[in-house]
Amino acid sequence: MAGMLLKETWPMYIGGKPRTSTHLREIRDPGTDAVIAAVPLAQREDARDAVRVAESGAAIAAHMPTHERMRILQECADRLAAQHEAFAELIARESSKTIREARKEVTRCVDTLRLSAEEARRIGGEVIRFDQSVGSDSRMGYWQRDPVGIITAITPFNDPLNLVAHKVGPAIATGNAVILKPSNDTPLSALRFAELLYDSGLPGDVLSVITGEAQEIGALLTSAEAVRMVSFTGGLKTGTAIARQAGLKKIAMELGSNSPVIILADAELDRAVESTVSGAFWAAGQNCLGVQRILVEKRVYHTVRDQLVARTEAIRMGDKLNETTDMGPLINSQEATRIEHWVKDAQSRGGKILTGGYREGNFYAPTLLDHVPAGTMILEEEVFGPVACLIPVDDLTSAIAQANRVNYGLQAGVFTRDLHRAFHAIKDLRVGGVMINDSSDYRIDAMPFGGVKGSGIGREGVRFAAEAMTEPKVVCFNLSVPQGRNDE
């Protein structure tokens, strides 16, 4: 693996065939700023070729037997499991994740592939009782799910392997072709993942991985008439622009959040604190599910605040490949600087730093704030960094009102031992998922995942992505014998 990373130029793949370019982008380790590789910057002709190849790939994929789709996905999972540590090191080198966080991502990716293989056998349909309608006594039939065709999948930097699998796995399972555009910051995991799929027998035309700038190739990959679905994970602003570009086709978007956690006075506070801190600072807070607002019932506010500060100050920030490191850097200097500006803005408006609040290069210390007034950027938007704000609340009703106030609604966490209060929160929180006695950051890869309002459209999670990547088709047989026909 080390040799694979030493400033080599990696190719992208158009229809399974490696392609390079004279236009390159350096890939840097965000912790050290060292160049670890370079990848092509695709041009418009490359994007056109990817769409053209995907048209033949869609026909190949649609006619691939279910057992063959399953075999490819299971074999890919086996190959990934066999290279578990190499992939973990690759993720840790190109992204913000520590080696321990990266290992968990690889493990999850293996599971995502196996879930996708199983879903291939489950995608089906139902018998339709046509004779329920007067005049249709002689008709019978069913509906089935057919692949949409070509899917453009656009993935972010924060989970450079598993979020790729969440789009590519269900697409293959349901017989689609995929054009994958990974993050410019973390394309290496996606490229190596594609190689595993090709080595597992996936026909090249079924999957292209194209690296490049959105300004150059993005509109071609999303607006092409042949592309029938766009699956995007990223920011609200970019997602809105893609939706306008895409035109009349299926869209699935996970667009981030500003996730609340509610800690009530009757909660098991030690558990609540540990889970909330983990949820806020996993992957340096670069996590769409990351805890951003911590709403604490006033009766226990000072106790919880002090425990949160103590637990946050115990986080070890540093070298991602060190087994004892808890938190790595932001993905690049622009993001680290943005976080710094947001915290300073909160301070200028009266916010108080309880711990952290400083930057060292691409690293930003895990930070807790309180007394941040409503309307401040860090309370209204997705911070996507290691910063969380504490907010005292009178009761559950006021906590829910605060949680629902922003234009996001991905997931929320609620800590309480009272079932009635738990169900009150479940009913009234306007989010895609409510985690009781877990932070907003809890997720398994089999569950429906997505949000409301500015948090997106549709749901990921293998089964739910697979359904979105198919279209129902009705089949009806008229079995009446035509008049005048006699087969006797």
Q: Is the pLDDT of residue 244 over 80?
A: yes
Lowest mean pLDDT among 4-18, 134-148, 285-299: 4-18
SS3 at position 251? strand
Q: What is the mean pLDDT of the chain?
A: 95
Pick the CATH number of 3-255+455-473 from 3.30.420.10, 3.40.50.1970, 3.40.605.10, 1.10.645.10: 3.40.605.10
Give me the pLDDT at residue 420, please.
98
Q: Is the pLDDT of residue 6 over 60?
A: no
Pick the CATH number of 259-436 from 3.10.129.10, 2.30.140.10, 3.40.309.10, 1.10.3720.10: 3.40.309.10
Find, among 431, 432, 408, 61, the residue nearest to 256 by Cα: 408
> In 354-477, where does DSSP find H-type helix?
377-380, 396-403, 419-428, 462-468
Among residues 76, 89, 94, 288, the one annotated as catalytic is 288
Among residues 94, 105, 254, 382, the one annotated as catalytic is 254
8 A C-beta contact, residue 203 and residue 60:
yes
CATH 3.40.605.10: which residues of the chain? Answer: 3-255+455-473
Find, among 296, 326, 295, 298, the residue nearest to 313 by Cα: 326
Give me the pLDDT at residue 484, please.
59
Question: Is 288 an annotated catalytic residue?
Answer: yes
Give me the pLDDT at residue 7, please.
55
Give me the pLDDT at residue 480, please.
87
Lowest mean pLDDT among 4-13, 320-329, 339-348, 431-440: 4-13
Q: Is the pLDDT of residue 30 over 90?
A: yes
The average pLDDT across 272-293 equals 97
Q: Is the pLDDT of residue 1 over 50?
A: no
Give me the pLDDT at residue 2, please.
41
Long-range contacts of 190-196 (CB under 8 A, 24+ apart): 190/155, 190/160, 190/161, 190/164, 191/10, 191/11, 191/12, 191/13, 191/39, 192/87, 192/90, 193/80, 193/109, 193/161, 193/164, 193/165, 193/168, 194/13, 195/13, 196/76, 196/79, 196/80, 196/83
Give me the pLDDT at residue 446, please.
94
pTM of the model: 0.94
E strands, 198-332, are 207-209, 227-233, 250-254, 259-263, 291-297
**Angle at the Cα of 143 from the Cα atoms of 139 and 147, rounded to 5 degrees:** 145
- Residue 4's pLDDT band (cuts 50, 70, 90): very low
Q: Which DSSP state fits 44?
A: H
Find, among 465, 326, 456, the residue nearest to 386 by Cα: 326
The average pLDDT across 356-383 equals 96
Instruction: Compute CA 157 distance to the chain's CA centroid, rounded to the nearest angstrom.
Output: 10
Q: What percent of the chain has pLDDT over 90?
A: 96
Give me the pLDDT at residue 332, please.
96
Q: Is the pLDDT of residue 8 over 80?
A: yes
Please count the CA atoms within 13 angstroms of the CA of 12 that sit on its side-chain side: 29
CATH 3.40.309.10: which residues of the chain? Answer: 259-436
Q: How far apart are CA 359 and CA 344, in angstroms?
A: 11
Pairing of strands 139-147, 125-128: antiparallel
8 A C-beta contact, residue 371 and residue 352:
yes
